[in-house]
């Protein structure tokens, strides 16, 4: 049974007993999501992009609780940036489970209310979460995901390689990187020799960035 557990920064995550792993770092779900995805991914992209004309597009592998989406959408709302967000999730959580995460503390009340109302519809197609934010969640395994679109930013948030090695092999990484725009940014919380090699072989520039608390380094790549 999936259970809510508290992490070291006081924010909650979910423990999946079948996988034997949490959805986020035990050192802090909130600080991991902010550091790895929002600051090192989205904010990094925005700082580099300067004035944006088109919406920012994000693809997330492993949508889970939606924490990365919520923090990203909240930032974009505050900065009045248009956001098109696509999550890939093979095993969507129930709305009730997401309702128990307590993530409403970290974002605006309107965003939380809209996310709750639109989460289930988002699993079948694109929905509007706010005037500047669109969300869709592809309910399929990563390797079955198909799109004609490429994205500015990819958040790669699979379970760790020790628990789900098939999410980190060359086929999975290659399938993911094909959806990154030239000039786009790929971020993930981990860094391994194999991941670096695979991402480099796909024509990306790879950088070891400082990791979230509990991890010395994370990987950021640019295509």
Ligand X SMILES: C[S@@+](CC[C@H](N)C(=O)[O-])C[C@H]1O[C@@H](n2cnc3c(N)ncnc32)[C@H](O)[C@@H]1O
Distance CA 163, CA 110 (A): 36
Distance CA 14, CA 27 (A): 13
| Residues 52-111, interacting with ligand X (CB under 6 A) | 62-65, 67-68, 88-91
Distance CA 178, CA 48 (A): 21
CB of 70 to ligand X, least distance (A): 9
Q: Please tell me whether residue 46 binds ligand X under the rule CB under 6 A.
A: no
| Closest-CA residue to 158 (of 179, 132, 187, 133) | 187
Q: Please tell me whether residue 159 binds ligand X under the rule CB under 6 A.
A: yes
What element of type H or E holds 30?
helix 29-32
Q: Please tell me whether residue 168 binds ligand X under the rule CB under 6 A.
A: no
- Candidates 110-118, 152-160, 198-206, 207-215; binding stretch for ligand X (CB under 6 A): 152-160
Cα 153 from chain centroid (whole Å): 9
Q: Please tell me whether residue 158 binds ligand X under the rule CB under 6 A.
A: yes
CB of 61 to ligand X, least distance (A): 6
User: Which residue's CB is nearer to ligand X, number 30 or number 81?
Assistant: 30
Distance CA 169, CA 3 (A): 28
Point out which residues bind ligand X (CB under 6 A): 23, 62-65, 67-68, 88-91, 141-142, 157-159
């Amino acid at each position: 049974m999936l259970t809510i557990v508290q992490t070291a920064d006081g924010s909650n995550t979910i423990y999946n007993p079948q996988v034997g792993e949490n959805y986020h770092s035990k050192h802090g779900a909130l600080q991991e999501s902010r550091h790895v995805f929002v600051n090192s991914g989205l904010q990094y992209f925005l700082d580099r992009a300067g004035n944006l004309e088109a919406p920012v597009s994000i693809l997330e592998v492993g949508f889970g609780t939606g924490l990365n989406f919520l923090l990203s959408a909240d930032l974009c709302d505050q900065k009045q940036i248009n956001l098109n967000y696509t999550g890939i999730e093979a095993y969507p959580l129930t709305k009730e489970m997401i309702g128990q995460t307590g993530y409403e503390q970290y974002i605006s009340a309107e965003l939380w209310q809209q996310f709750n109302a639109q989460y289930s519809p988002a699993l079948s197609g694109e929905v509007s979460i706010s005037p500047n934010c669109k969300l869709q969640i592809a309910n399929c395994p990563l390797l079955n995901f198909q799109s004609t679109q490429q994205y500015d930013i990819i958040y790669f948030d699979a379970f760790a390689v020790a628990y789900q090695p098939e999410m980190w092999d060359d086929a999975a990484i290659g399938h993911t990187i094909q959806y990154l725009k030239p000039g786009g940014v790929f971020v993930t919380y981990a860094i391994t020799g194999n991941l670096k090699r695979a991402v480099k072989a796909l024509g990306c520039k790879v950088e070891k960035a400082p990791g979230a608390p509990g991890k010395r380094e994370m990987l950021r790549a640019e295509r």
